[in-house]
Amino acid sequence: MKQLIANVSLITMIRLFGLTFIGIANAKANEIETLKSNLLAHAPKLVIESIHKSPVNALYEVQLATGETIYAFANGQYFLAGNLFKAEKGGSYLNVTKANKTQRRQSIIENLSTNTAISYPAMGTEKAQISVFTDVDCSFCRRFHGEVTVLNELGITVNYYAYPRMGLNSATYKTMNAIWCANDKQSALTQAKLNKEIDANTCNGSIDSHYKLAKSIGVRVTPSIVLANGELVEGYQQAKILAGKVFSIQ
């Protein structure tokens, strides 16, 4: 992101008042390819996941692999970094960027296999599932884990994915890899969150793919909880308060 900003000759700020908003439409393939080529010409290391027409005429929404969104003009030389807002009736504003990220996150979670997750299933009839990105050395993650049983009793399945905050070369990464490689993953994860030592294991435990996924959907802190509608709940939440949010969207 910084590299892209450094290579752009001018950052144009646009006032949103007075802009005409049009319906989101798919851009022509050649327009998208031209924009992508122009952006990469300025920043070759930029990893672009998708490009779509934004609600603003001549402005494209560019989704980066880091989870960030920028808005660029077709020549790729001028862009806006930040949230796009739409003025609504009654003086309110819709955060278009946030809404699009939530929709995209929902689609990803709906199609995400739980085969590589460490799951704590609901007791009795399952009423909902949540996806939780966790770090075993995070104190609030440990606090959250202590209330997983309460969520299970309320009918909520908790699917854990790994997000070692210090990166893929950290000691936490090695610990989490050992957990995901353990025969009894549930027990290993619980033991680690009780600050107990975990036997070393060097298999490929899916941590890299979880980390990449977390980055792409905007995870920045742990725990980060993704609800079924794509909403991202950042940080520790008491079990009953979180359950209220989970059930309110059904």
Domains and CATH numbers, the chain: 2-95 (3.10.450.70), 109-248 (3.40.30.10)
User: How far from 180 is each of 27, 67, 133, 205, 215, CA to CA, in Å?
Assistant: 41, 25, 13, 5, 19
Kindly report which listed range (27-36, 107-116, 140-149, 154-163) carries the lowest average pLDDT score: 27-36
- The pTM of this model reads 0.81
Q: What is the C-alpha separation between 5 and 89, in angstroms, rounded?
A: 34
Q: What phi, psi does 61 have (nearest 5°)?
A: -90, 120
Catalytic residue, candidates 105, 135, 137, 142? 135
Active site residue 138: yes
Q: What is the C-alpha separation between 134 and 161, in angstroms, rounded?
A: 6
Helix (H) or strand (E) holding 220: none
pLDDT at residue 29 in the model:
74
Active site residue 141: yes
Is the pLDDT at 145 greater than 90, yes or no? yes
Active site residue 165: yes
Tens digits of per-residue pLDDT, 92-103? 999 999 999 999
Active site residue 181: no
Catalytic residue, candidates 137, 138, 142, 181? 138
Tens digits of per-residue pLDDT, 161-180? 999 999 999 999 999 999 99
Catalytic residue, candidates 104, 105, 165, 181? 165
Catalytic residue, candidates 104, 105, 137, 141? 141
Contact 163, 136 (CB under 8 A): no
